[in-house]
């Protein structure tokens, strides 16, 4: 599953994925998302899961979610415990510029499931536009990256 993404603040209705600390209000938004929404919600969710006999919850490391990499997963685990681990999808790390091999090594036994999926970085678009691409996945010829079957992701 995915952790989800809280709105940007009290009274707002749309999710807000913070990708940088600037402008300074971004840090305030991110802190609110974690401290006021995500951590209290996941405390309750983990307890409810335990009450129903669930032993593990695997969260996918997808960009635009509050948990999207090792560091954010560990922040949640430090708060709610080891019931929460990662549904590791290497394709997301590729487009975010991470190294899946290093991530696996650093996550260790916090990986509860693995997706076998790759990402093709689109030469000629990625270099000029960067990897934060909000175009629909159906607009594959115009995107800076696209999901691909394993082995079909060469630049």
Q: What is the pLDDT of residues 36-73, one digit of tens each?
A: 999 999 999 999 999 999 999 999 999 999 999 999 99
Longest dimension (CA), the chain: 51
Residue 85 CB coordination number (10 Å): 19
Q: Assess contact for 96 and 68: CB atoms under 8 A.
A: yes
For β-strands 118-121 and 145-148, DSSP reports them as: antiparallel
Question: In the prediction, which pLDDT does 151 show?
Answer: 81
List the chain domain ranges.
25-116, 118-155
Q: How far apart are CA 99 and CA 102, in angstroms?
A: 5
| Whether the predicted pLDDT of 82 surpasses 90 | yes
Question: In the prediction, which pLDDT does 31 show?
Answer: 96
Question: In the prediction, which pLDDT does 152 show?
Answer: 80
Residue 144 CB coordination number (10 Å): 19
How confident is the model over 116-142, as a mean pLDDT? 92
């Amino acid at each position: 599953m995915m952790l989800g993404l809280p709105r940007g603040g009290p009274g707002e209705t749309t999710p807000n994925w913070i990708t940088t600390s600037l402008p300074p209000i971004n840090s305030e938004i991110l802190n609110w998302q974690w401290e006021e929404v995500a951590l209290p919600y996941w405390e309750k969710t983990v307890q409810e899961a335990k009450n129903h006999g669930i032993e593990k919850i695997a969260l996918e490391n997808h960009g635009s979610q509050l948990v999207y990499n090792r560091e954010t997963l560990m922040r949640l685990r430090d708060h709610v415990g080891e019931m929460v681990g990662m549904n590791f999808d290497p394709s997301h790390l590729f487009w975010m510029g991470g190294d899946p091999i290093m991530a696996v090594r650093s996550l260790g036994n916090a990986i509860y499931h693995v997706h076998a999926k790759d990402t093709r970085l689109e030469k000629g678009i990625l270099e000029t536009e960067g990897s934060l691409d909000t175009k629909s996945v159906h607009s594959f010829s115009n995107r800076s990256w696209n999901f691909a079957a394993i082995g079909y992701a060469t630049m």
